[in-house]
Amino acid sequence: MNIPDDLKYTREHEWCRLDGGRALVGITDHAQAQLGDIVYVELPDVGDPVKKGESFGVVESTKAVSELFAPLTGKVVEVNSPLSDAPETINEDPYGEGWMIRIELGDVKEVEQLLEGGAYKTFIEEEEG
C-alpha cells in the first residue's frame, strides 16, 4: 500500500499536498484499489466553494458510485480537467497525474485535523479489521 510521508490524509481516503495557503487534493492509492477501474469522474468548477467533510464530486467505477469529500474548506482554484476524458489516470497515478482539485484554504487551522501517513495507515488497518 502506497502512503507517501509528505502528504496529509482523511478518513474518507482523500490526500492533500499542502503548499502555503493552498492544497492539492486527490484520492489515495488504497481508495483507488478499493474502487476498481474508475470510468467516470465528476469534479466541481473553478471558483466553486468546498466545505470540509462535504461532497465535492463523485468517482464511478463500472459497478459503483462513490462521493468525494473535501478534506478542507476553501475555494476551488484549479481542476484537473483532463481526468474527465481519462479517469483511469486516477487508478494509474493517484498521487500524481490523478490529482483532482486545488483548493485555496479558507481556514488554515483545519489542517491540524488531517492525518499523517502513519496514522492513516493505522486507520486503514483498523477499518479492514
Partner 1 sequence: MPQRTPLHDVHVRAGARMVEFAGWDMPVQYAGILAEHEAVRTRAGLFDVSHMGEVVFRGPGALPALQRLFTNDLARCADGQAQYGCLCRETGGIIDDVVVYRRSAEDLLVCVNASNRAKDHDWLRAHAGDTSVENESEAWAQLALQGPRAQEIAQALTSLRLGSVGTYRFADAEVAGVRCLLARTGYTGEDGFELFCPSADGPRLWGALMEAGQAHGIAPCGLGARDSLRLEMAYRLYGSDMDDSTTPLEAGLAWVVKLDKGEFIGREALVKAKEAGLSRKLVGFTLTDPGIPRHGHAVLQDGKPVGTVTSGTRSPTLGISVGLAYVPPGLAGEGSTFAVDIRGRAAAAKVVKTPFHSKKK
- Give me the least distance between CB of 61 and partner 1, in Å please: 7
Closer to partner 1 at the Cβ: 7 or 50?
Answer: 50
Q: Distance between CA atoms of 91 and 97, rounded to whole angstroms?
A: 10
Q: Distance between CA atoms of 98 and 92, rounded to whole angstroms?
A: 7
Closer to partner 1 at the Cβ: 23 or 38?
Answer: 38
- Give me the least distance between CB of 56 and partner 1, in Å please: 13
- Give me the least distance between CB of 29 and partner 1, in Å please: 15
Binding interface with partner 1 (CB under 8 A) = 36-37, 39-40, 42, 58, 60-63, 65, 84
Provide CB contacts within 8 A for 129, sequence distance 6+: none
Closer to partner 1 at the Cβ: 116 or 125?
Answer: 125
**CA count, 13 A, side-chain hemisphere, 90:** 36
